[in-house]
Chains A and B, each alone.
Chain A
Amino acid sequence: MSDKPSGVYVYGLVGGTGAPALDEERGAVVAATLAPPRLLSCGDLTAIASDLIVLGDTALDTVMQDSRQAEALVLYHHAVLRAFVGEDTVVPFRFGTLFHDDGAVAGALDRSRDGLLETMRRVNDAIEWGVKVFVSRDRLGRRIEEETSAIAELKAEMARARKGTAFILKRRLQRLIEEESEQAIVGCLGTITDHLSRRARESAQCRLQPAEMHGRDDEMVLHMACLVDRGMELDFFTLIDDLREAYSGFGFEFDITGPWPPYSFSDCRLEGDEDAA
């Protein structure tokens, strides 16, 4: 079996030239191995790269289309960037950036230098944190029932009404609670988003996840990525705690994810080669 490198895998760029302590173990799966990461300098840009070794006669596409093998490589991709982001500014590349050799990496970096430097400045000395906001519509509905005068009046009317009328009023009550809940959610999320945006250097909306992905009973109503200056994390967490305290009575819950390499703020496409289609 051949163990010659099949290409040079690039995880992203790093601001400094120091490498964190990384395990000598490789990101290996059955048919492919990412060698321990090394730094590849190209002028004022430094890439974090590994040799990718595909064993034997296995085609690379075959490896990538095997979900279990691809999973392991995705996790290793993240683990490497995660180790670097603890120490320095990192510009993450999308999973799957692979070149023929070091010279091809250097050429591509050189040709996209301006865009890469701009991205590096954008995320300089900052870390991405994810904020997920969930709401329990039951808890919110109960709170609205307690506090809305129109609902209290409707309930009193129901208590006095005959059976047929009470049924109609009950339907109206349910609709009213749903409408009030929607308005409350929109209002609360506006305020929450505003607070988060003001505390972060930049913020971005992420895709809302369905229950089978986030695994909670409550509904996800907001998913944001926040680019937070390094050293300002405690302020950011304090803000989340304050928001949690202010909104928990309305059925809102907050989750923080991260620290992430600033994926959501390095979302650009660059042509690495002049002749590229």
Chain B
Amino acid sequence: MPLETGGGQDLALSDLLDRALDKGVVLWGEATVSLAGVDLVYVGLKVLIGSVDAVQRMRGAAPGGLPAAEADETA
């Protein structure tokens, strides 16, 4: 389920989810808006990994797609 990125590398959705939703700095506090749904999002996205057209649909779901710096490298 690869998504083409720069340098001939493929970005697998599963790799991205394992990082962006499971790692990285967690900064909590009173001023943080509650995103209690994040765990649910993760479950939902995991299910979608098996879907054949998930990545293409994801690309289409974001008008303008990825920022230019990334999109340029897909050429």
Q: Which A201-226 residues have C-beta < 8 A from chain B?
A: 206-207, 209, 212-215
Q: Is the interface of A mostly helix, strand, loop or mixed?
A: mixed
The prevalent SS among residues of B at the interface is mixed
Encoded as 1 (CB less than 8 Å from any B CB) or 0, chain A from 57 to 71 comes to: 000110011011111
Smallest Cβ distance from A63 to chain B, in angstroms?
A: 8
Q: How many A-B residue pairs have CB under 8 A?
A: 211
With the chains together, A96 CA to B38 CA distance in Å? 7
A275 within 8 A of B: yes
Distance to closest chain B CB from A169 (angstroms): 42
Does A74 contact B23, Cβ atoms closer than 8 Å?
no
CB of A141 closer than 8 Å to a CB of B: no
* CB contact list, B36-68 vs A, under 8 A: 36-38, 40-41, 44-45, 47-50, 54, 57-59, 61-68
Residues of A within 8 A of B75 (CB): none
A98, B28: Cα distance in complex, Å: 9
**Contact assessment for A272 and B45 in the assembled complex, using a CB-CB cutoff below 8 Å:** no
> Which residues of chain A are within 8 angstroms of B33 by Cβ–Cβ distance?
6-7, 60, 98-100
Those 10 A-B pairs whose CB atoms lie nearest each other, nearest first: A25-B64, A273-B29, A272-B29, A104-B31, A67-B44, A83-B69, A263-B19, A64-B37, A79-B66, A72-B61
Offer 30 A-B interface pairs, CB within 8 angstroms, sorted by A: A21-B68, A22-B67, A23-B65, A26-B63, A60-B33, A67-B41, A71-B57, A72-B58, A74-B17, A75-B66, A78-B11, A78-B16, A83-B70, A86-B69, A93-B27, A94-B20, A95-B21, A104-B32, A108-B29, A130-B15, A206-B18, A215-B12, A263-B19, A263-B20, A270-B26, A270-B27, A270-B28, A271-B28, A272-B31, A273-B30
| Chain A contact residues, CB within 8 Å of chain B | 6-7, 10, 12-13, 20-29, 60-61, 64-65, 67-72, 74-80, 82-83, 86, 91-100, 104-105, 107-109, 111-112, 116, 119, 130, 206-207, 209, 212-215, 256-258, 260-261, 263-264, 266-273, 275-276
